[in-house]
């Protein structure tokens, strides 16, 4: 029969863990609401920028911007990887990091040269321990991310792309927020602007000032910044949702454990009482 004191101690320890998970769940839910709102308001901005660029690219079948067409026989790939600043969020961090790592291995297997730009403490830590070149790191920025910071990142990325002929493509790894219980790691191509190069020419007459090329080139940084910004806010919303779910499960598990332990405790207590009674009765009978 288990020791009463031991069970009591275990119940206490599970209870205090439950208090922590419960608190984390509440914090994550309140952050999540805010993050989701931000992710939703960023969407129209990105769609509008993308739509305008797609229009320009579609209108001119011979569109010849450095960003649209793949530069052949080059080997380096830049991966922008967005993860969280903290753990305890289920598979949130590991899913996106695993996906990025798989791509890195693939690039290496093809004789290429992967370079990463990690965003979020967990991504920074992860790539610091791996054999891979790091362009620049950003941590603890997701919660208060703004478009200007994303612009800065976009300019760094575009500048690197222009300066290094060997850079073949830029890819973004982030976590797409689908629903409060569903988040999925995603990989999208930032440069070359793949979908644009494939879009069908519509041949519509649009007046561009000063010229289509200038408008397009001015839009590219805004587009890349929008992409990175959306990636950051989507990932942050996903992180909070994932943490809330993980902590909810942990709280539920703790409750179940406490229930089981309480049952065990009561049984042990009852059997101790029964035993005591049997001993008293046995003793009384022996005397009588």
Partner 1 sequence: MKTFLLQIITPDKTLFEGQVVQLTARTTEGDVGILADHTRYAAILKTGALTIKLENGETRTAAVAGGAMKVSDDRTTIITTAAEWAEEIDADWAERSRQDALAKLEAYKDEPDRHQRANLKLQRALNRLRVSSNYSKTLI
- Cα–Cα dist 99/179, whole Å: 20
For residue 248, give every residue at least 6 positions away whose Cβ sits within 8 Å of its Cβ, in sequence order, or none.
25
Report the C-alpha gap between 49 and 148 in whole angstroms. 16
Q: What is the x/- site pattern for partner 1, positions 137-166, by CB under 8 A?
A: ---------xxx--xx--------------
Smallest separation (angstroms) from partner 1 to the CB of 60:
12
Q: Which is nearer to partner 1, 151 or 258 (CB)?
A: 151
Judged by beta carbon, residue 6 or residue 37, the one nearer partner 1 is: 37
Part of the chain binding partner 1 (CB under 8 A), chosen from 72-80, 161-169, 176-184, 200-208: 200-208
CA separation for the pair 36, 40 (Å, rounded): 6
Q: Which of 4, 23, 48, 263 binds partner 1 (CB under 8 A)?
A: 48
**Gyration radius (Cα) of the chain, Å:** 28
Three-state secondary structure of 113-180: EEEEEEECHHHHHHHHCCCCEECCCECCCCCCCCHHHHHHHHHHHHHHHHHCCCEEEEEEEEEEEEEC
Q: Show the binding pattern over residues 4-43: x = contacts partner 1 (CB under 8 A), - = does not.
A: ----------------------------------x--xx-
Site for partner 1 in 219-238 (CB under 8 A): 219, 222, 225-226, 229
Identify which range of 120-128, 135-143, 165-173, 218-226 contacts partner 1 by CB under 8 A.
Answer: 218-226
232 token code pair: 């950051």
The site that binds partner 1 (CB under 8 A) totals a number of residues, namely: 31
> Which residues is 118 bridged to in the sheet?
81
Q: Rule CB under 8 A: which residues touch partner 1? A: 38, 41-42, 44-46, 48-49, 52, 55-56, 146-148, 151-152, 204-210, 214-215, 218-219, 222, 225-226, 229
């Amino acid at each position: 029969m288990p020791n009463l004191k031991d069970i009591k101690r275990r119940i206490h320890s599970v209870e205090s863990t439950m208090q922590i998970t419960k608190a984390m769940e509440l914090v994550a839910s309140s952050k999540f609401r805010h993050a989701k709102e931000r992710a939703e308001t960023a969407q129209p901005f990105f769609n509008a920028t993308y739509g305008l660029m797609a229009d320009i690219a579609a209108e001119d079948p011979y569109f010849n911007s450095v960003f649209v067409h793949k530069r052949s026989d080059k080997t380096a790939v830049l991966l922008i990887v967005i993860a969280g600043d903290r753990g305890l969020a289920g598979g949130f961090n590991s899913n996106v990091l695993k996906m990025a790592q798989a791509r890195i291995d693939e690039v290496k297997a093809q004789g290429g040269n992967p370079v990463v730009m990690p965003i979020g403490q967990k991504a920074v830590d992860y790539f610091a321990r791996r054999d891979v070149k790091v362009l620049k790191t950003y941590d603890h920025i997701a919660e208060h991310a703004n478009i200007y910071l994303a612009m800065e990142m976009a300019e760094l990325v575009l500048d690197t792309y222009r300066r290094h002929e060997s850079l073949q493509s830029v890819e973004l790894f982030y976590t797409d927020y689908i629903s409060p219980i569903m988040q999925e790691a995603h990989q999208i191509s930032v440069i070359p602007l793949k979908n644009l190069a494939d879009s069908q020419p519509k041949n519509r007459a649009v007046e561009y000032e000063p010229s289509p090329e200038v408008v397009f080139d001015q839009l590219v940084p805004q587009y890349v910044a929008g992409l990175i910004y959306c990636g950051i806010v989507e990932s942050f919303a996903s992180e909070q949702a994932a943490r809330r779910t993980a902590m909810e499960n942990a709280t539920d598990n703790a409750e179940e454990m406490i229930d089981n332990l309480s049952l065990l405790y009561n049984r042990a207590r009852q059997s101790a009482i029964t035993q005591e009674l049997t001993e008293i009765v046995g003793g009384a009978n022996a005397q009588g």
